[in-house]
Amino acid sequence: MKSLDIKTIAKKVIQIEAEAVSQIRKHINEDFEAAVNAILNCDGRLIVSGMGKSGLISQKIASTMASTGTPAQFVHPGEAIHGDLGMITDKDIALIISNSGETNELIHILPALKDKNIKVIGLIGKKGSTLALQSDYFLDTSVKKEACTLDLAPTASTTATLAMGDAVAISLLELRGFNKSDFAKLHPGGILGKRLLLTVNQIMHKRDRIPFVHSSMKVKDALLTISEKGFGMTTVLNANDEMVGIITDGDIRRALEKNGNKIFDQTADNLMSKDPKWISSDTLAISALELMQEHSITSLFVFSDIHQKKPDGVIHIHDILKTGIQ
């Protein structure tokens, strides 16, 4: 058995596939633009179909489309000719994927698609093939060679096809004006969903958990409140229950170092900071975390209405970190 350099083999594979993807940039033409517009203006779904490795790529493309604002469904061509054609309506548009362009199962479903006047977009690797010629829109995914040294296993061709599918999907995303908020609605689960959807008001502490003292109260009372509530700070309210500042445990430590125990008999308004950071309740939790990290603070008071004078919530950095969004 001859000695082989694994790193050299791997780098060659990546180079061949990168060249294949780069090559299909030349295939972005009027048919591509027309196909994207046809999907955009479709009243139904994008039906994506392919066999074998192309079938796996088809499933990925359908998933990408669905998650970026284009209703899409993968239909297995082998199952389609045995009844699953009933899933497809005359409002749909079809995207068929084949490297050879001669996949029998796909050829067999074309008459049924044509009977329903369904437009067919072909991601095909052979220009003069049956599927390429029978597609209403032909997207050329041909490559010079596979990355497989036998030039047999679908490697560069599947990578190029996936890239072409992504190009269609992201073109549609931009044309639809699909934004982060739209993306979040389709991805409510897991860390991604939390980062895009979780707001401060969903995890903040409310009512009797909010630490506060009045400006006329002693600093020692502020310290007791800070210790009791556990947020490392307390809001300071005036006689009208309006927030006029905050006192943190750091403020008290620094005052102790400078003036000793006599600070405990001072009133809260003599020690408070008058321009504290705060946040609105509809702010994303990830944004609140970034604000805390930027200013090296661990807690923020929360306001539901910027015109109100008293906070109706408080959030600690640990509340956010416990959600796992970072």
pLDDT digits (tens, 9 = 90+) for 134-189: 999 999 999 999 999 999 999 999 999 999 999 999 999 999 999 988 988 888 87
Q: Provide the pLDDT for residue 196.
A: 86
> Is the domain of 243 the same as that of 165?
no
- Whether 171 and 236 map to the same domain: the answer is no
Residue range of the domain that includes 55: 6-178
Both structure tokens of 2 = 């001859």
Domain end point (choices 144, 178, 212): 178
Are residues 138 and 12 both part of a single domain?
yes
Cβ atoms < 10 Å from Cβ of 206: 13
**Residue 57 covered by a domain:** yes
pLDDT reported for residue 181: 83
Joined tokens for residue 95: 């995207």
Question: How many domains are contained in the chain?
Answer: 2
Return d(Cα 149, Cα 257) in angstroms, integer.
74
In a domain, 183, yes or no: no
Q: Does any domain span residue 186?
A: no
236 located within any domain: yes
Query: Rounded to an integer, what distance in angstroms lies between the CA atom of residue 88 and that of residue 174?
Result: 26
How far apart, in Å, do the first and last CA atoms of the chain sit?
49
Of residues 189 and 272, which shows the higher confidence score?
A: 272
Residue pLDDT, tens place only, 31-77:
999 999 999 999 999 999 999 999 999 999 999 999 999 999 999 99
Question: What CATH code is carried by the domain that includes residue 243?
Answer: 3.10.580.10
Q: What is the DSSP string of 192-219?
A: HHHHHH-BHHHH-B-GGGS-EEETTSBH
Residue 74 forms part of a structural domain: yes
Q: Are residues 134 and 280 in the same domain?
A: no
In this structure, is residue 15 part of a structural domain?
yes
User: Based on C-alpha coordinates, what's the Rg of the chain?
Assistant: 31
What is the pLDDT averaged over residues 2-27? 93
Q: What is the pLDDT of residue 29?
A: 97
Q: Establish if 193 belongs to a structural domain.
A: no
- Regarding whether 247 and 101 lie in a shared domain, the answer is no
> What CATH number is associated with residue 30?
3.40.50.10490
pTM score > 0.85 for this model? no
* Separation CA 325–CA 182 (nearest Å): 19
Same-domain status, 59 and 109: yes
Answer yes or no: do 65 and 150 share one domain.
Answer: yes
Shared domain for 135 and 17, answered yes or no, is: yes
Could you tell me if residue 303 is inside a domain? yes
